[in-house]
């Protein structure tokens, strides 16, 4: 079957024209969808902006992407993580594209969207102001893959403005197809991670990054801000490896090797100037042979930092967990000893059929899709629920029950079961696109209930589970869905994809927190979402004890255009969820 990409090129060749995407036109509505800006964008093709445009500049390893006047730094950070993983990068950005003749003005990208890989097509007309790109762009080269990939991403969301509400974790998931997880490094002065945890994380098919989220959304400003030691706020530093430095005094210092995606190629510097940096006096504590051994491990933009300094500098580990099949595309993950096995279920919450709401609704909770999880050995698993309703996101979460003591399960469990049995794991409830939670489970059977917070709310969703010895099965249950539970909300917002290998049509626009330049912020602030948290008390009765759930809900509210506070709460999990440090890999 001829793909949409090849068909468009063939049609343009016959007509002798460059492609113009009618589904995402070069108009103001593709940038803003709520208001009209006080200025007009000029849409230009790359050869109208520079004389010698290139798609991807393979001659340099430098990541020189900047957000421009109106772009998003969170997306720049996402692309930095992707760019350092070349196997994954070329899955998203097919390399067989360029500006050489014959040229038809069409580009294709692959993005993980609503539980599947989609091929998104865009024309090469990009919004400019005074002849310069308004959004993402390469600073020192004529590479146009950043602006074109950003356009494809904006097309999925419905507009460039919608990217203003994006989050880094959602972006990493969309660009890699992995399950993302944020791990707090410390709470107050209590360090939650230890070297064995990092070793275990580095042994898996996961991309591990360190970042600083200080509660002020500085990471989405156009100019990066740096600490005195040179570490940039809001940039994801790749955690590459760990080692120990043997000192002259006979003791050891635990070191971590990090990579700055913004490091300059020609200088081979990382911008880090703290202890164990290139010219630090810390190296006087070790022999020359030991220093050479450690320095020789460093690649472009990499540096050593002590484990202690890492815990004092960064606030979060942000992880992208990839299944073994996806990890094969990435050479840096090819030799990992622990490979994630992923199981996927795609379903829908349908009013009166499968939309029972959370445990606060004991008379309808049981009608939610019931997924059985089987483990053959004790292990840590990561459960992720992703909602496909991104234009009007629902508050979602999930609950896990232990079925090891339950006999003769022949079908769906009734509401009597849920009134008599206490849950084992409760996620946060949030209106973010994805909610994930790591839990340590013994061998046996478990029940996963993915739900909306309120009953009768309709949306499509995906459940993904990562582990080593897992099976996932849907209990025989609800009536077949005869209608699409998530119809297109705006017929003018369409997505051109190669649907030859895709059978699902899932559409939506995301809403989350981020910001542009002040003029862009001012025009869109009316629709801004903030995260607030509120508690949910489960009124259901249990034989053993009452249990509580907590819900995090994003509420629309006016904001100032500077120093927007990130109100996301890090706590709020259910009563049976152990502290964060106890839910990570066991040492």
pLDDT tens by residue, 431-454: 999 999 999 999 999 999 999 999
Strand pairing category for 132-133 and 65-66: unpaired
* 517: pLDDT strictly greater than 50: no
Work out the mean pLDDT of the chain and round it to a whole number.
Answer: 81
Give, as one character, the DSSP assignment of residue 565. Answer: B
Residue listed under structure tokens 């469990």: 413
- Confidence at residue 188, expressed as pLDDT on a 0 to 100 scale: 79
For range 261-274, the mean pLDDT: 68
Confidence class for position 61, pLDDT limits 50, 70, 90: low
**Using CA atoms, how far apart are residues 73 and 278, in angstroms rounded to an integer?**
27
Which residue numbers are catalytic? 260
Query: Is the pTM for the entire model greater than 0.95?
Result: no
In the chain the domains, ranked by start, together with CATH numbers, are: 4-175 (no CATH), 179-321 (3.90.70.10), 341-474 (2.60.120.380)
The gap from C-alpha 475 to its chain's centroid, in whole angstroms, comes to 29
More confident residue, 365 or 503: 365
Q: Alpha helix locations (H) across 133-167?
A: 145-157, 160-163
Neighbour order of strands in the sheet with 42-44? 42-44, 126-129, 132-133
Least confident among 88-97, 235-244, 262-271, 474-483: 474-483
Confidence class for position 584, pLDDT limits 50, 70, 90: very low
* SS3 assignment for 326-393: HHCCCHHHCCCCECEEEEEEEEEECCCCCCCCCCCCCCCHHHCCEEEEEECCCEEEEEEEEECCCCCC
């Amino acid at each position: 079957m001829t793909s949409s990409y090849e068909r468009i090129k063939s049609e343009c060749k016959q007509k002798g024209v460059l492609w113009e995407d009618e589904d995402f036109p070069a108009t103001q509505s593709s940038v803003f969808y709520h208001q009209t800006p006080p200025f007009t964008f000029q849409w230009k093709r790359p050869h109208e902006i520079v004389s010698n445009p290139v798609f991807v500049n393979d001659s340099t390893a430098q990541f020189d992407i900047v957000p421009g006047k109106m772009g998003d730094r969170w997306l720049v950070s996402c692309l930095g993580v992707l760019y350092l993983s070349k196997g994954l990068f070329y899955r998203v950005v097919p390399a067989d594209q360029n500006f050489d003749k014959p040229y038809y003005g069409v580009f294709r990208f692959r993005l993980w969207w609503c539980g599947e890989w989609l091929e998104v097509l865009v024309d090469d007309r990009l919004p400019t102001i005074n002849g310069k790109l308004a959004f993402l762009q390469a600073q020192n080269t004529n590479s146009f893959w950043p602006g074109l990939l950003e356009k494809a991403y904006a097309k999925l969301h419905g507009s460039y403005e919608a990217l203003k509400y994006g989050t880094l974790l959602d972006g990493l998931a969309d660009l890699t197809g992995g399950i993302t997880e944020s791990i707090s490094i410390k709470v107050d002065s209590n360090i939650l991670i230890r070297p064995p945890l990092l070793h275990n994380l580095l042994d898996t098919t996961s991309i591990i990054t360190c970042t600083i989220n200080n509660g002020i959304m500085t990471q989405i400003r156009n100019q990066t801000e740096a600490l005195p030691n040179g570490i940039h706020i809001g940039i994801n530093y790749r955690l590459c490896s760990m080692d120990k430095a043997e000192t002259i005094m006979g003791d050891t210092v635990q070191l971590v090797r990090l990579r700055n995606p913004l490091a300059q190629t020609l200088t081979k510097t990382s911008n880090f100037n703290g202890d164990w940096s290139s010219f630090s006096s810390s190296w006087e504590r070790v022999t020359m042979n030991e220093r050479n051994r450690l320095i020789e491990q460093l690649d472009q933009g990499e540096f050593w930092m002590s484990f202690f300094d890492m815990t004092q500098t960064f606030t979060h580990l942000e992880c992208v967990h990839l299944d073994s099949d996806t990890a094969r595309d990435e050479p840096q993950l090819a030799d990992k000893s622990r490979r994630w096995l992923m199981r996927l279920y795609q379903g829908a919450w349908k009013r009166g059929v499968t939309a029972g709401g959370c445990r606060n609704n004991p008379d309808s909770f049981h009608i939610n899709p019931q997924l059985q999880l089987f483990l053959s050995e004790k292990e840590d698993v990561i459960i992720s629920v992703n909602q496909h309703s991104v234009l009007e996101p629902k508050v979602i979460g999930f609950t896990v029950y232990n079925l090891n003591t339950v006999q003769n399960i022949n079908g769906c469990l009734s509401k009597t079961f849920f009134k008599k049995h206490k849950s084992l794991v409760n996620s946060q409830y949030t209106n973010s696109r994805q909610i994930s939670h790591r839990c340590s489970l013994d061998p046996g059977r478990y029940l996963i209930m993915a739900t909306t917070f309120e009953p009768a709310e309709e949306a499509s969703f995906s459940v993904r589970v990562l582990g080593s010895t897992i099976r996932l099965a849907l209990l025989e249950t609800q009536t077949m869905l005869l209608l699409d539970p998530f119809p297109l909300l705006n017929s003018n917002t369409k997505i051109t994809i190669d649907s030859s290998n895709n059978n699902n049509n899932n559409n939506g626009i995301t809403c989350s927190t981020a910001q542009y330049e002040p003029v862009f912020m001012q025009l869109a602030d009316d629709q801004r979402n903030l995260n607030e948290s509120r508690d949910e008390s489960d009124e259901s009765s249990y034989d053993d004890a009452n249990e509580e759930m907590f819900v995090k809900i994003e509420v629309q509210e006016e904001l100032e255009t500077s120093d927007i506070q990130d109100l996301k709460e890090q706590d709020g999990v259910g009563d049976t969820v152990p502290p964060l440090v106890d839910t990570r890999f066991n040492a």
